Structure 1
């Protein structure tokens, strides 16, 4: 049985974008521009974003007022 509250610590691009509340292409555009957290590459062909990095980034967006 899958827990629908489960949030993996490492997320690939589609899930990371969904987690932060935007589309994949917009999220990847922000990453490319250095405005969103850079991914980690734990092995060849695997690119993930750490949930903690995404949370810290989201928290910092509210303090730019």
Structure 2
């Protein structure tokens, strides 16, 4: 199982920190898991699933 910390999640999704937390508050983004006393990370598999369900912009 691969865990990703916030900076990489931001890079992977293209979202900012506040947007990620807002989406989490609205139950529209995966919740992180605690990986240490003061550290959380996201499961890569959950982020991949979330990404697949996002609408694709058409320009």
- TM bucket normalised to smaller: 0.7 to 0.9
Give unpaired runs (5+ residues) of structure 2: none
Give unpaired runs (5+ residues) of structure 1: 1-8
Could you tell me the TM-score, scaled by structure 2's length? 0.75
Q: Which has the larger radius of gyration?
A: 1
**Matched residue, 2:6:** 13
Q: How does 1:1-65 map to 2 (within 5 A)?
A: 9-62=2-55
Query: How many residue pairs end up in the alignment?
Result: 55
Superposed CA RMSD in Å reads 1.8
Bigger relative CO (Cα 8 Å, ≥ 6 apart): 2
